[in-house]
């Protein structure tokens, strides 16, 4: 199986390359220097050169606060770019798996969000990703949109890496304890994507339920709970750790509002594809171990 992955420098794309090597998939990941998803001609050239079985759009403008000041850039990548990738997939006659986010919801619901719950993003980033979902669905019938949340890995910028970096110089940290979600280890997500891709690559898979799915680590916590787990694992490995003090969101203001509730139900993915991501603590343990040990 050959996969064309956009956003080569991102966490999920880098983990897809790693998972592909382990699971016998040929993953061709292209970044901005080789593929401009805002250019339809650039995409068509790339697809024509690679001849993928499935295209995975992992490219995104993920700087949530920066998006508030640069909405045109965010929409250019997250919406227009996503639509371009979907059109290229449609023209090539292959399925597209597009990655989206919990930020399409406002976070006001009590309990887990399902795929059929009403969307109402409260940030530019969330609105751009929701528009991307719409454009992907409109451009390619054979599409899967995977919403995920709280992604972390040994690569790029993420909460787990930030906590370890801060703990190296600060004995105490205040961490938000009133936002709830399901941390997702990017390598676990990548393995799930490859599994799903294998199931949808058959052009005759007309009975497959195309559409939106949620894909997150199992279980839930808060940012404060995640920080506690990170430091528990790191201390055990003789890595950096700090005392974590819970704080409310109002004590840590940011340019973009975050959903208070980012919990996503992943039952639909499990029922349709037999795919479930491991418990979020398992992902944190592996991620921290790799970071502390330098690999």
Tell the residue number behind the tokens 């650039």, with chain if given. Answer: 42
> In this structure, is the dihedral angle defined by the CA atoms of residues 6, 133, 69 and 254, taken in order, positive or negative?
negative
Report phi then psi at 93, rounded to 5. Answer: 75, 30
Q: Which residues contact 179 (CB under 8 A, 6 or more apart)?
A: 107, 222, 223, 249, 258, 259, 260, 261, 262
Three-class DSSP labels, 42-91: HHHHHHHHHCCCEEEECCCCCCHHHHHHCHHHHHHHHHHHHHHHHHHHHH
CA 239 distance to own-chain centroid: 26
Query: CA 86 to CA 9: how far, in whole Å?
Result: 20
The residues facing 28 across adjacent strands are 4
Query: CA 4 to CA 43: how far, in whole Å?
Result: 11
The residues facing 148 across adjacent strands are 101
Tell the residue number behind the tokens 């969307």, with chain if given. Answer: 119
Pairing of strands 143-148, 96-101: parallel
Q: Give catalytic residue positions.
A: 125
């Amino acid at each position: 199986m050959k996969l064309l992955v956009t956003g080569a420098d991102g966490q999920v794309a880098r983990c897809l390359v790693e998972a592909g090597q382990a699971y016998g998939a040929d993953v061709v990941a292209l970044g901005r220097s080789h593929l401009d998803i805002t250019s339809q001609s650039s995409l068509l050239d790339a697809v024509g050169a690679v001849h993928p079985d499935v295209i995975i759009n992992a490219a995104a403008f993920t700087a949530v606060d920066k998006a508030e000041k640069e909405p045109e850039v965010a929409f250019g990548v997250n919406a227009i770019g996503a639509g371009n990738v979907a059109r290229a997939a449609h023209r090539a006659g292959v399925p597209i798996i597009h990655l989206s986010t919990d930020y399409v919801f406002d976070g006001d619901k009590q309990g887990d969000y399902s795929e059929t719950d009403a969307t109402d993003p409260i940030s530019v980033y969330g609105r751009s990703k929701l528009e991307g979902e719409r454009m992907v669905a409109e451009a390619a019938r054979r599409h899967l949109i995977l919403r995920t949340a709280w992604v972390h890995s040994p690569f790029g910028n993420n909460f787990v890496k930030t906590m370890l970096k801060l703990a190296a110089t600060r004995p105490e940290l205040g961490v938000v304890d009133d936002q709830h979600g399901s941390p997702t280890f990017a390598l676990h997500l990548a393995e799930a994507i490859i599994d799903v891709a294998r199931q949808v690559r058959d052009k005759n898979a007309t009975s497959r339920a195309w559409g939106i799915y949620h894909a997150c680590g199992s279980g839930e916590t808060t940012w404060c709970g995640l920080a506690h787990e990170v430091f528990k694992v790191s201390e055990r490995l003789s890595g950096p750790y700090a005392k974590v003090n819970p704080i409310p969101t109002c004590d840590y203001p940011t340019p973009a509002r975050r959903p208070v509730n980012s919990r996503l139900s992943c039952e639909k993915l499990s029922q349709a594809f037999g795919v479930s991501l491991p418990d979020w603590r398992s992902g944190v343990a592996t991620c921290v171990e790799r970071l502390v040990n330098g690999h």
